[in-house]
Structures are given as C-alpha cells and as structure tokens.
Structure 1
Amino acid sequence: MKKLLISLCLISSAHADFALRDGDTVAFLGDSITAARGYTKVVEHYTLMRYPDRKVRFINAGVGGDTATKCLERLEKDVFAKGATVVTVAFGINDIGWGTKADDEHKKLYLDGIRTIIERCREKKVRPIICSPAITAEVPDTAEKGYLQTMTDEGLALAKSLGAETVDLQRGMREVQRRVVEHNANAKDDDQVRMHVKDGIHLDDLGQIAMGYAMLKGLGAPEDVSSATIDFESSKGEGENCAISDVKTAGKELQFTRLDRGLPLNFGPFTLLQYRWVSLTDGLNRYTLSVKNLPEGEYEILANGRSLGKSSAESLAKGLNIASMTGNGWYPGGPWDAQSGVVKELVDARDKLSESERLQVMNLEQDGQVDPLIREMHEQQDTLVELQRHAAKPVPYHFSIKPAATP
C-alpha cells in the first residue's frame, strides 16, 4: 500500500499544462455552431475523464446568428453573471455574413469586437481564449487562403498581442477535412463522408467531434493518458500516470492491478468509426499496456473480467493502446470504456437540463412558476455534476493476461 501511495504522489502533478484548471467555470461563447451543443460536450466529457480530480463546470453561451460585436450586449448576463472564470470565443462566420459581407468594414467590426471582449474579460478577471471559427465545407486548400481564415488570423494575432490565449480551430479541423476529402475523391456516392449539413456551414456529428478535438488540442490536451509496463520474468511493473501493484505470475498467466490518474475518452461502439478521420486514438487516447518477456503465443487480455480481445506476445512486448480495445465491437472493452459511456450519458443529461433552463427563462419568464422551477433545476444540475465526477473516478482494475483458448 505504501508503494502504491508513493506512485500516486509522483503522478499528481501530471498534465499540468491543460488550460482548464481546478475550480474553473468555462463559458463557450459563440454562434449557432456553439449553440448546437456538440463540441462543447466533447470538451466537458474529456475533462471529466482525464482530470476527474479537477472540479470544472461548463456553460454553453452560444446564440444563433451571433457575432463578435453583437455578443457584447449579453456578455454580462450570459458569461460574467454566471461565474465564468474562462471563456472560449468562436466567432467569424456571421461576422462576414457567410461570405456576403467579407470586406474591410466588417473585418474591423470583428476585430473591434475581439478587442472589447478581451478588455471586458480582463476587467472581470476572466481568462479569454480567442478561437477561429469552425471550418465551412469550402475546399481546404482554397479556404486556407480565404477571407474567413485571413480575417480570423488577424483576430488571433490581435488576441496574442493583448496577452490572451488563442486556438486556431479552423486549421485543426482542416486536418480532418483533408482526410475526408481524400476519401471522398475515390468513394462511391453511398460511401461519401460529410462534416457539414447541406448548407455547408453547420456541422454534423463528425464535424462537431472534429471541432471538439481541435479545441482540446488547442487547450493543451496531451496525447498520453497513462502507460503500464510489466516484466513477466521479474514480476515487476511500473507505470506513468498510473500505479501498478499485486503483480503475480503462474505458469504462462499474468495478473496485476492498475490504478490510473485519469481515463481515456470513449463515445461508444459506433463512434469508433469516426476515429478514421479524427485522430482520437493517437492524439488524445494513448492508454497503453506493455508486457515484456512473455512466452511466445497468443494471449487473451481481460480487465475486471471484461475481454479486450487477443494479442500475441510479440505485440504485447511492443505495447498496445488499449483505450478502445474490445473483444466484441458491439460492447465496451475495458471498464474505463464502459465508465466513459456512463459519463457521456450524464454529460448529455446535464446539457439537456441546462438547455431546458435556458428555454424556460427565455420563453416563460412571466410565468409564476419560473423562479421555483429554476431553483429546482439548479439543484438537479449540482446533483448531475457530482454524478459525472463519481462515474469518471478511476478505480483499481484487475488485469489478467492468459494464453488464449484454442478454437
């Protein structure tokens, strides 16, 4: 036990560079793409899984049709009054009217809006993170030199000159878009992949995941979750951002316990198909296991009795990323995968409740039941946040690696 505690102390300062800190309340300020509540939930879900010891709360402050200038009317009500300590700012598409107002006059309005947002955030001691907007369906190479990217590049440069943090979502998303375009060039009509709905502006599920991924990388999300290395011959193990204990061998079978500092992000079985386009596995989810000096052969890997599938001794020696590994593609693999599925549902539930509150205040504020109902919603929000953190909390996983049964 003493050894286990020491190991956990050594990893307590890991991932210090991620921009969202313990105690932060994060407001996502933006237009209809933010109001769609897609990428915002990806960031929330990730933060819960990877940093379960950080108490971070999230506010969606997106409004359809909004701009960097128009949003100034609601900064106090939608951001500052709600206790935000961090605000991400993603505008640009409506600022140039989807390209119909791409001129110097509207660029100046956009830049003035960015400057004012930063100044007001400083007055309130809120950390602004200025972002470029989501990509459109425009051809990537053309969009790279287009007015929207050029204008928001100036906005990012202005923000940096004023000491604000920045995230270039457009270029981050464009990496995904290029892979999609390359695939579609040779794909049949029924195998075409899209990141946008028909208008070429608003994002579908893949587009929102790509935006969430770009936002997380811009916030400093690391590639590595944790890694465990076990030596079969010596029955010793070591971990990075995890603690290894109770290593035992018997014949060709190996058992040990792993306790992680944080866990990988998983969205469920079907979203694994999106990993072809969004590099979640290597970009955010490096949750690895290496076993050295195993006798040759094929082995089954189990965690808390759940099968992750089979692997050769050679592959195990090189190291496997087991973040989404499963013995059955219809079901979660390791218990961390199942935990992430539970957390995702709780993130969706909290988001739905938050949206219900927004609609109640916006449309029924004259109703005499608003105030008590809002108070009840706030209490339920607190309950859901605690449930999220409890569901995301790492627990010891018991691993068993044993020779695979002969078919």
Structure 2
Amino acid sequence: MFESSRSGGLQQQAGSIFASSYSAISPIRIVTLAVLVALSMTLGPRAQADSPAGFALEDGDTLVFLGDSNTAGSKFAQIVENYSLLRYPLRHVRFVNSGRGGDTAEGGAERFQTDVVDKGANHVFVMYGINDICWGLCATPEKLQDFYQGIIDIVMAAETAGITVHVASYPVTGSDPFVDGPLQEMGDTLEAIAIYLSAAGWDVHYIDVHGDTREIYQEIWTYNQGLSDNEQPIELHTDGIHLNKLGHEAVAFSVIKGMGGPAEVSSVSIGLSAAGPFILENEGASVTSLQGNANLLRFERLDAGLPITFGLFSGLSTLRWVPYSTELNQYMLEVRDLPSGRYSLEVEGRPVGTFSSETLRNGVNLSSQTGNAWQPGGPWDAQATSLTQITQARRSLEVGVDLLRGYVPDNPNLGSIDFQRAQTNERLEGLQRKFVSPTSYTYVLKRESE
C-alpha cells in the first residue's frame, strides 16, 4: 500500500478538497476519499508540470498503450497512430501496443517495467476498469481499492521513470447509456485523482473516454429505439464489452481529443476580382501558381498535415456518429465571389465533388468528400486509406512474433526472428512516413454548364 512521505497537513487538505464531492454512500465513492487521502501521503515535492501545447506527442516521442483486450485489439491505437502520422508527418513518433487480454490495473502495474519502461516510452496511455470489476459483477469496495491502487502504482512508476501518463476512463458498455453504472463513477474518481496529482506537479492527464463514448452511444441508443424488429441496430461492441470497428473509432476520437488534437487541419480562402484570383487567407497550407477566373480556377496547395479518413461509405457509419469532421478533421476550402452556379472540383485528377457557389463561399470541408462513393476522394483520402494497410502490417508483425514466443518459447530461431522483426519494423515505420510525406496537390475548380 501507500508509504507516508508527507505531513498530515496534506492529508487534511485532500480530505477538505474531496470530501464534499465524494461523500455519497455508493461503494465506489466510499473508496474514493480513502484513495485520495492515502495518495496525499505519498507525494513528495514536485515542480509543476507544464500542460502540453497542442497535440501532446512531439518529435522523438514514444507512446505505449497499456490496457486489456480492447487495447490489445489495437484498432483504436492504430487510428491514433495514423492520425499522428497524417496530421504531423514531420514528427517521428513511435507507437507500441502493450495491451493484454484479461488484464487489470494491478497486472499493468506489475509488468510496467518490461512492457512500458523497457520499450523506451516517454508517454503511456492507460485504460483499465472492466476486468477489475469482473465485467460489472464485483464492483465491491475491495475490488475498487485494488483497481485504484493499480492505477496509482502505474502513475508512481511512470513518475519515477519520467514518463507522461494519459489515464483514461473505460469505454461505455452495451447496457443502457442513460443509466449511471460503476464505470461512470470509476471515471469520476480517476479524474479526481488526475486533477489532484497534476495540481501537485505530477505529469498526469485524464481522458474521459467513458464520457465521450457514452455520449455517442446515447445518440445511437435513441436511434435504435426507433428501428423496426427487422432492422439492424447500430452497436459499438461485438458482445457488449469488446469494441467493434465503430467502437474503436469512437474511442480513438476521444483519445485524440484528450491528447490535444485540434479541430482544424488546414484552410485556404481564395477571392476573385476583375484582376484575377487572390489569396485571402491560408492556415496550415501554402498556395502557389494561383491562376484562372470564375469559370476555371487552378492552384497548387501544399499542406503541413493531412486529415484522417475512414474508408468507403464512412459518411454512413463513422462520420455519422463520431464527430471527427467538425472536431478533428476540418480540411477547408473557401472560394468567394463566384457567380451563382455549381462547380466541380478535381485534385490531382481525382474527382472530389460538385459544390454550389454558396457552399464554396461559406467554406467546404474536403476531408471525406468524394466524387465517387466507390473510390477514395482526394489524394489525402487515398493516402490515409493506403496508410492503414501499412500500420496493420506493422501490428500483425508484432503480434505474430509474440504469439510464436508465447506458444513455442524454446524455439531456437527466436533470437534471429526478434532481430529481423526489429529491422522490418523500422523499415515499415519509414514506409509509413513516406506514405504521408507532404506533397503539393493540383486543384482544378471548374464551373459546370447550366
């Protein structure tokens, strides 16, 4: 348990701060105050940690994902990886998945050295909770104490190793999202712990995955209530606990937002006059070779980063329920002073869509626009779609070697396999960066005939 290293004054301070908020009679809240009071006794003096400006991951960082089977499944982790690569292509960030099926916070703490520190992490994403309470069947004070103790042990180990912690509440389950359950209160407690530690100078940040996914699932739940018996409901899970594709996309959204992902990718605003087109404003992109008139406009656009996209028909699934387009993926084009009419846009010869002059005047988000529903839209969409295959290959390589080690630990070739895996992984990481390397796109906006 906790070892005291500070005076009783801080213990009293913890009690006064949290007693009013966590004095209800539920077992979870009974445990909360005890955890915080005990935690206060472990804190030594710390310099105040600076909050990250913008997206938390910088050039040279290594992020390890630590959690249970939903983390080991890696889909949300791969989306976070792809986002970082696309949005910040000049930052070389390494991603390591240390999820383990059936794991708990206590288990994560026990393997923290080998599966986080020894992987070279300077950031760790931590998400536990569902196995800690037996899928909701054993949310007793004792089990909750073990859960919080495991989280605190992880945070303390990270602090000792100089690793930034991003601790997350657990995703919503398949039960009624309008009814509070133990995961909600566990998330509230984790947030209180993170706030308390951060105020004490520890490099700990809270991500409300449960709250974000619960809000998304509430919309889905309401929609499902209106379906007929023969219509397929929308779900975030395969079995009420394990995430499906949409569930992973929802979790990834929460993680990216929680790590400081901004809403805007880049924007270009163009005006027209009798003398020709001109740049009104651009952010996160440069524009060259601008020429033409209201009937045919052409220019080159070079973006510092690109939006993340989710494949064919994502507007009917991912983007319908998860607000990537408005909160993370604003890849904007605005063209003012066009005569009334409709205009087709091609980028690098790829049809992106046809838009009214009013839509272009107000600004259109091009991130997931496509002129052909059976094809990716602009080249950025094609790049993102292609990147997912390389990221999956990198994860498959890692899983394949780990499975061999687990099933045949005495295989005499493991040393050579590990060496070749490291080399191959390094090449795949280089290939990922090639896929997203910034390149100039040729835009052609043409007025459609009446």
TM-score (norm 1): 0.93
The partner residue of 1:40 within 77, 82, 86 is 77
Amino acid at match of 1:81: D
Would you identify which runs of 4 or more consecutive aligned residues in structure 1 move more than 6 Å?
Answer: none
The partner residue of 1:221 within 242, 261, 278 is 261
Residues 160-179 of structure 1: pairs in structure 2 closer than 5 A: 160-163=195-198, 164-179=204-219
Which residue of structure 2 lines up, in the alignment, with residue 285 of structure 1?
329
Q: Does 1:313 align with 2:354?
A: no
Which residue of structure 1 lines up, in the alignment, with residue 97 of structure 2?
60
- The higher-RCO structure (CA 8 Å, 6+ apart) is 1
Q: Which deviations, in whole Å up to 9, do the C-alpha atoms of 1:237-288 show, x marking residues without a partner?
A: 1311111111101462111111101000012113332211111111211101
The partner residue of 1:357 within 383, 389, 401 is 401
Distance (Å, rounded) in 2 between the aligned partners of 1:352 and 1:49: 21
Give unpaired runs (5+ residues) of structure 1. Answer: 1-14
Contact 1:364/1:370 (<8 A) preserved: no
Which residue of structure 2 lines up, in the alignment, with residue 147 of structure 1?
182
Distance (Å, rounded) in 2 between the aligned partners of 1:108 and 1:124: 24
The DSSP-based 3-state class of the residue aligned with 2:98 is strand
Which residue of structure 2 lines up, in the alignment, with residue 390 of structure 1?
434
Distance (Å, rounded) in 2 between the aligned partners of 1:28 and 1:251: 50
Contact 1:114/1:159 (<8 A) preserved: no
The DSSP-based 3-state class of the residue aligned with 2:333 is strand
Q: How many equivalent residue pairs? A: 389
Q: Does 1:183 align with 2:218?
A: no
Distance (Å, rounded) in 2 between the aligned partners of 1:166 and 1:40: 17
Distance (Å, rounded) in 1 between the aligned partners of 2:443 and 2:396: 36
Structure 1 residue 220: deviation in Å? 1.1
Structure 1 residue 73: deviation in Å? 1.9
Distance (Å, rounded) in 2 between the aligned partners of 1:279 and 1:31: 26
TM-score (norm 2): 0.84
Which residue of structure 1 lines up, in the alignment, with residue 277 of structure 2?
235
Distance (Å, rounded) in 2 between the aligned partners of 1:382 and 1:81: 17
Distance (Å, rounded) in 2 between the aligned partners of 1:197 and 1:337: 28
Which residue of structure 1 lines up, in the alignment, with residue 299 of structure 2?
256
Structure 1 residue 190: deviation in Å? 2.4
Give unpaired runs (5+ residues) of structure 2. Answer: 1-51, 199-203
Which residue of structure 2 lines up, in the alignment, with residue 159 of structure 1?
194
Residues 339-350 of structure 1: pairs in structure 2 closer than 5 A: 339-350=383-394
Structure 1 residue 404: deviation in Å? 1.9
Distance (Å, rounded) in 2 between the aligned partners of 1:398 and 1:190: 43
Cα RMSD (Å) of the superposition?
A: 1.4
Which residue of structure 2 lines up, in the alignment, with residue 78 of structure 1?
115
Which residue of structure 2 lines up, in the alignment, with residue 122 of structure 1?
159
Q: Which deviations, in whole Å up to 9, do the C-alpha atoms of 1:117-140 show, x marking residues without a partner?
A: 111001111111111111111211
Contact 1:232/1:249 (<8 A) preserved: no
Which residue of structure 1 lines up, in the alignment, with residue 249 of structure 2?
209
Which residue of structure 1 lines up, in the alignment, with residue 147 of structure 2?
110
Distance (Å, rounded) in 1 between the aligned partners of 2:421 and 2:235: 36
Amino acid at match of 1:146: G
Distance (Å, rounded) in 2 between the aligned partners of 1:287 and 1:327: 16
Contact 2:167/2:207 (<8 A) preserved: yes
Q: Does 1:192 align with 2:242?
A: no
Which residue of structure 1 lines up, in the alignment, with residue 55 of structure 2?
18
The DSSP-based 3-state class of the residue aligned with 2:105 is coil
Q: Which deviations, in whole Å up to 9, do the C-alpha atoms of 1:185-225 show, x marking residues without a partner?
A: 11133231111113x11111111111111111111111111
Structure 1 residue 16: deviation in Å? 4.5
Q: Which deviations, in whole Å up to 9, do the C-alpha atoms of 1:152-189 show, x marking residues without a partner?
A: 32122112212211101000111210111111011133
Q: Does 1:322 align with 2:362?
A: no
Structure 1 residue 400: deviation in Å? 0.7
* Aligned residues with identical type, % of pairs: 37
Structure 1 residue 387: deviation in Å? 0.6
Structure 1 residue 405: deviation in Å? 4.6
Contact 1:51/1:262 (<8 A) preserved: yes
Contact 1:242/1:258 (<8 A) preserved: yes
Distance (Å, rounded) in 2 between the aligned partners of 1:53 and 1:27: 20
Contact 1:267/1:344 (<8 A) preserved: no
